[in-house]
Chains A and B, each alone.
Chain A
Amino acid sequence: MSKLYSGAEIVFKCLEDQDVNFIFGYPGGAVLPIYDELKNHSTIKHILVRHEQGAGHAAEGYARSSGKPGVVLVTSGPGATNVVTALTDAYMDSVPLVCISGQVPTHLIGTDAFQECDTTGITRPCTKHNWLVKDIKDLSKILHEAFEVATTGRPGPVLVDIPKDIQFAKTKYSKPKQAIKAKIKFHNQFTQNEIDELINLISKAKKPVIYTGGGVINSGPKASEALKEFVRLIGFPITSTLQGLGAFPGDDNQFIGMLGMHGTYEANNAMHDCDLLINIGARFDDRITGKIDEFSPKSKKVHIDIDPSSINKIIKVDLSIVGDVNEVIRATIKRINKKQNGLKDSNKQKISKWWEQIQKWRTKDSLGFINSDKTIKPQYAVQRLYELTKNQDTFITTEVGQHQMWAAQHYKFSRPNRWMTSGGLGTMGYGLPAAVGVQIAHPDKLVVDIAGEASVLMTMQEMSTAVQYNLPIKIFVLNNQYMGMVRQWQELLHEKNYSESYSEALPDFVKLAEAYGCKGIKAQNPDELDAKITEMLDHNGPVIFDCQVDPNENCFPMIPSGKPHNQMILGPNDKEENKITGKGKALV
C-alpha cells in the first residue's frame, strides 16, 4: 500500500510538483494545519504579507513579471473576503493566480461558524473556476486541475477552498499526470485559410495599424519576439493598450505610442482613419474604443485572441482568428516568407503616404507639457526616472490614477513583463504589493512602483513585508496632494467642484518610511530631482520617495466622454498662446 498523506501534506506535494517556489499568504485558524506543514518543505518559501489583498497583488506582480502562476494562501472568512479585490483584479487583467483558502470544518459549513463565509459563492464571479474540497480523495486532483485552469487558454485566477478537517484527513497522493485534463478548455484552432485571409488584407491595406494588448504578454516572451519580427516584416505602425506595453519596444520608430483615453494623438488618429486594424490580444475595452458607433469607421477589422468570447463582444470584426498569439503570428510570418516574399517591399511603398500622415500627427507632440523650473511636473519626474533607469533592466509597477497614465506615457518599455499595472479593475493600492511580488521573482533587479500618494496609502502596510524580506523596492510617489484623476474629472466634468478629492492630513512620507525601518527621501524642486533619484537608486534597500509635484497638473491628451478617437483634448501646449512660450520649456 502506498503512503497516506494528510490534506496539508498533499497541498505541499502538489505545490512542489507544480514547481511553486513562493507562496504569498497570511495565517489564520482555518489554515493552521497547512501552515504547520510549511516547515517540512524547504523549496517553498512563504512570504508573509500584512493584509490578504497585498498577498493577492504580490502574487499578481510575481506572476506577471515571471510568467509563472502566483500562489496565495489565506484563511477562511475575512482572509478570503480580503483577497477578493485581488482576485477580481487578476480576473480582469488575465493574471494566473491559484488561491488556496481555508474553510471551517465540513460539518460546520452552513452554520455561520466563526470566520465562516461562503467563499466559493463570493469568488465565483471573480475566478475562472473555484472548488470546495469536500472529500480528501479529490484534493490532489483538484489542486492540479486548478493550476491547469489558471495557466491555460486565457489565464486567470482560481480558488480552492479547503475545510480544516480535510487538511487533517489522510489519503494517497496522485501526481499531476493522473489529473483529468479533458475538462480544460483550450482554444487554438485557427485555420490556414484564416492566415491567408489575414495576409490578403495586409497586402491590400493602404492605411493599416496594429493594435496589441496584454494577450501578447500572456503568450510569453516568444510572442513578443514574434510580434517584433512580424511588425518589422510588414512595416505597419503599431500601437498598444496599457496592458500590452513592452511587447514591442517603446522607443522604436514604428511604435506610435499607447492608444485610448490617454493615448497619443497619432495612435488614436491612426485608429480612427485606418483602413485595416489588426487587434492582437486586446479586447476593445471601453477606455480604448471611446464612442463605439464612431470607432474606426473606415477599417476592416481583424481580431486575434485566445478567448472566443472576446470576439465580437464590443466591436464586430471582419476576420477573427482564435488562437495563441505566438502561434498565430508565427504561422503568419511563415506564410508570408514562403508565399509572398514580395509583400515586404510592396507593402512599405503602399503605406508610405500613411506614414507621412502619422509623422504629421506626431509633430503635434501630444505628450508634451509645459515644464517648470519652480515646481516638479509629474511628467518630468517620470521622464527623469526613465532616463536614470533605462540602462538597467527595470521593472515598473503602478497604482491607479494620473501617475499611472503618466508612467504609461513617459516611461518607455523595451521588453515584456517589465510593466505591471492594474488596468481592467483599476485597483488603487495595487502597485506596492505588486512590487513586492516582482522583487521576490527578480531579487537582483530594480523594481520601482510609480505611485500616487492617495493610492499608495491603501496598501502602505506592505512596506513591512518589504522590510522583513529585505526587498529593495523603490516607492516613487508622485505626491500632488490630490486623488489626481478624480480631481481632473471634477475639473473637466463637474465645474471644478473638488468634492472630497483633496488628500487631507497626509503623513510625512519620510518619517513614515523611517517608521517602517526603510529610507525616506523627499524632492521638492526640479533642480534636486536627479540627485535625489540617484540617491534612491543607490540605496540598497526599500525606499519611499516623496516626489512633491505640481498639484494642478492634468493628464493629457484625453478623449473626453462619449467622443470618438479623432476628437481629443490636447494639453496646454496645443493652445496657440502657449505654444511659443511653452515650446522652449517643454522637455520631450
Chain B
Amino acid sequence: MANPKSAYSIPTKKGKSDTHIIVVWVDNESGVLARVVGLFSGRGYNIESLAVAEVDATKNISRITIVTTGTPQVIDQIKLQLKKLVPVHKVADFKREDKKVIFKEMALLKVVGNKKKVEKCIKACKIFNPVILDKTKQSVVIQITALRRDIDKMSKKLKSLGLVSTSRTGAIAMTRGAETFK
C-alpha cells in the first residue's frame, strides 16, 4: 500500500492487544443492552463474551460483564465511550492477569457415552467444582465453574469422551477483599 488511491490515511502499526474484562453498571431499561453492544459493533470493538443480569431490583441496576481485547488506546476508548451513554452509571476495567480480581465462568457440559466414559469425564472435571445436574444411563450433564481458558481446555479434552453440547455463561468478575469498585 505504498500509494493508495484514497484520501484516507493508511492504517498505522497497531500496538499490542490485551484481554480486558469491562464491567458496566447500567439502568435496567429497555434497549440498554443494545446501546452497549451497538457501541462495540459500531466502533469495531471486539466482544469475546458477555454476561448480563439485574443485580439490584430496587435501584433497577444491571451489571454487564464484557470480555474484550484491544490495544491500551482502544480499551481507553471503550471505557470513555461507555461512560458517555446516558443509562451507564460506572465502568470498571480489569486486566485478565489482575490477581486482585476473581474471574469466573460457568459451563454446562452434556456428555453422551457409556458409564466408563461418563465417569472419566466427571473425574476430569474434578478441579473445577463439578456438579452433576442430570444423569442417565447414557448421559450426564455436568456444571463446572472455572476460568475461560480452563473451560476451553476442558471442552477440547472432553470432545473425545463424548461431549455433545456445551453451554457457557461468559465471564463475570469481582474484586477480592473488602473493597468494592466505586
Contact = CB atoms under 8 A, between A and B. Distances in A.
Interface of A: 120-121, 124-125, 128-129, 132, 134, 149, 183, 185, 261, 286, 289-293, 307-309, 311-313, 316, 489, 493-494, 561-562
B9 A124 contact: no
Given A124-B38, A292-B12, A293-B12, A309 B6 contact: no
B132 interface: no
B84 A307 contact: yes
A261 B34 CA distance: 36
Contacts of B10: 291, 562
A309 B84 contact: yes
B34 A121 contact: yes
B35 A124 contact: yes
B42 interface: yes
B181 interface: no
A183 B86 contact: yes
B5 A312 contact: no
A303 to B, nearest CB: 13
A292 B11 CA distance: 9
B38 A309 contact: no
Given A121-B34, A125-B42, A561-B5, A309 B86 contact: no
B76 interface: yes
B146 to A, nearest CB: 35
The 3 closest A-B pairs by CB, nearest first: A309-B80, A129-B86, A493-B5
A561 B4 contact: yes
A308 B80 CA distance: 7
Contact of B84 (A134, A185, A290, A489): A185
Contacts of A289: 9
B129 to A, nearest CB: 40
Contacts of B85: 129
B38 A286 contact: no
B95 interface: no
B7 A185 contact: no
A75 B6 CA distance: 39
Nearest to B74: A313
A54 to B, nearest CB: 26
Contacts of A307: 84
Contacts of B77: 309, 313
B30 to A, nearest CB: 7
A180 to B, nearest CB: 11
Interface in B73-101: 73, 76-77, 80-81, 83-87
Interface residues of B, number: 26
A59 to B, nearest CB: 21
Contacts of B73: 312-313, 316
Contact of B30 (A128, A132, A149, A562): A132
B31 interface: yes
Nearest to A493: B5
Contacts of B42: 125
Interface string B142-162: 000000000000000000000
Given A290-B9, A309-B80, A494-B5, A128 B31 contact: no
Most buried by A among B9, B10, B81: B9
Given A292-B9, A292-B12, A124 B31 contact: yes
Interface in B45-62: none
B81 A309 contact: yes
B86 A286 contact: no
B83 A308 contact: yes
A291 B83 contact: no
B9 A291 contact: yes
A494 B34 CA distance: 41
30 contacts: A121-B31, A121-B34, A124-B31, A124-B35, A124-B38, A132-B30, A132-B31, A183-B86, A185-B84, A291-B9, A291-B10, A293-B12, A309-B80, A309-B83, A311-B80, A312-B76, A313-B73, A313-B77, A316-B73, A489-B7, A493-B5, A493-B6, A493-B7, A494-B5, A561-B3, A561-B5, A561-B6, A561-B7, A561-B9, A562-B9
Given A124-B35, A125-B38, 18 more contacts: A120-B31, A121-B34, A124-B34, A128-B84, A132-B30, A289-B9, A293-B12, A307-B84, A308-B80, A309-B83, A313-B77, A493-B6, A494-B5, A561-B5, A561-B6, A561-B9, A562-B3, A562-B4
